[in-house]
Amino acid sequence: MSEGTAGAGPVSADASAAASDSGAALEPVIGLEIHVQLATATKMFCGCELSFGQPPNTRTCPVCLGLPGSLPVANERAVHFGLMIGLALGSQLAPRSIFHRKNYFYPDLPKGYQISQYDEPLCLGGRLGEVRIHRVHLEEDAAKLIHVGESGRIHGSDTSVVDFNRGGTPLAEIVTEPDLRSPEQASEWLRLLRATLRQLGVSDVNMEEGSLRCDANISLRPAGSEELGVKTELKNMNSFRFIERGIRAEIERQREIIESGDTVVQETLHFDPTTRSAGGGAGAITSLRSKEQAHDYRYFPEPDLLPVAIDEAMRQAAREAMSELPAQRAERYRRELKLSADSAQLLAFRSELGDYFEAAHAAHADPSPPAQALANWISGDLAARLGDGEDPAASRVQAPALAALVGLVAAKRVSVGAGRQVLDKLVAEGGEDPAAIVEAQGLASLGGEDELGAIVAAALAANADAAERVRAGNEKAIGPIVGAVMRETKGRADGTEVTRLVHEQLGI
Q: What does the binding site for Mg ion look like in residue numbers (CB under 5 A)?
A: 173
Identify the residue among 11, 18, 27, 56 touching another protein (CB under 8 A): 56
- Exposure string over 351-373, b if 16+ CB within 10 A, otherwise e: bbbbbbbbbbbebebeebbebbe
Q: Is 77 strand, coil or helix? A: helix
Q: Does 200 bind another protein (CB under 8 A)?
A: no
Burial 50-75 (b: 16+ CB within 10 A, else e): bbeeeebbebbeebbbbeeebebebb
Which of 2, 372 has the CB closer to Mg ion?
2
**At closest approach, how far in Å is the CB of 57 from Zn ion?**
11
For the chain, how far is it from start to end, CA to CA, in angstroms? 72
Q: Per-residue x/- marks for another protein, 278-317, CB under 8 A?
A: --------------x-x-x-xxxx-xxxxxxx--------
Binding of another protein at residue 159 (CB under 8 A)?
yes
95, interface contact from Zn ion, another protein, Mg ion, none, CB < 5-8 Å by kind:
none
309 contacts which partner out of Zn ion, another protein, Mg ion, none, CB within 5 to 8 A by kind?
Answer: another protein
Q: Are 386 and 428 in contact (CB under 8 A)?
A: no
> CB under 5 to 8 A by kind: which of Zn ion, Mg ion, another protein, none does 146 bind?
another protein
For another protein, the binding residue among 8, 74, 382, 452 (CB under 8 A) is 74
Burial 150-185 (b: 16+ CB within 10 A, else e): eeeeeeeeeeeebbbbbbbbbbbbbbbbbbbeebeb
Binding-site residue total for another protein (CB under 8 A)? 72
Report whether 437 contacts 484 (CB < 8 A).
no
Distance CA 502, CA 471 (A): 10
- Binding partner at 173 among Zn ion, another protein, Mg ion, none, C-beta below 5 to 8 Å by kind: Mg ion
Residues 215, 172: Cα–Cα separation, whole Å: 14
Which segment (27-35, 156-164, 375-383, 407-415) binds another protein by CB under 8 A? 156-164
State the Cα–Cα distance between residues 243 and 184, nearest whole angstrom: 9
Single out the segment in contact with another protein by CB under 8 A; choices: 17-25, 84-92, 149-157, 225-233. 149-157
Per CB under 8 A, 156 contacts another protein: yes
* CB-facing half-sphere around the CA of 171: CA atoms within 13 A: 25
Decide: is 163 part of the binding site for another protein (CB under 8 A): yes
C-beta of 58 vs 287, nearer to another protein: 58
The strand pairing partners of 282, in sequence order, are 276
Please report whether residue 105 would count as binding another protein according to CB under 8 A: yes
Which residue, 49 or 439, is less far from another protein as judged by CB? 49
Binding region for Zn ion (CB under 5 A): 46, 48, 61, 63-64
Instruction: Report the nearest approach of another protein to the CB of residue 384 (Å).
Output: 43
Q: Pick the stretch among 57-65, 220-228, 233-241, 392-400 that binds another protein (CB under 8 A).
A: 57-65
Q: Which does 49 bind (CB under 5 to 8 A by kind): Zn ion, another protein, Mg ion, none?
A: another protein
Pairing of strands 113-117, 123-124: unpaired
User: How far is it, in rounded angstroms, from Cα 159 to Cα 138?
Assistant: 31
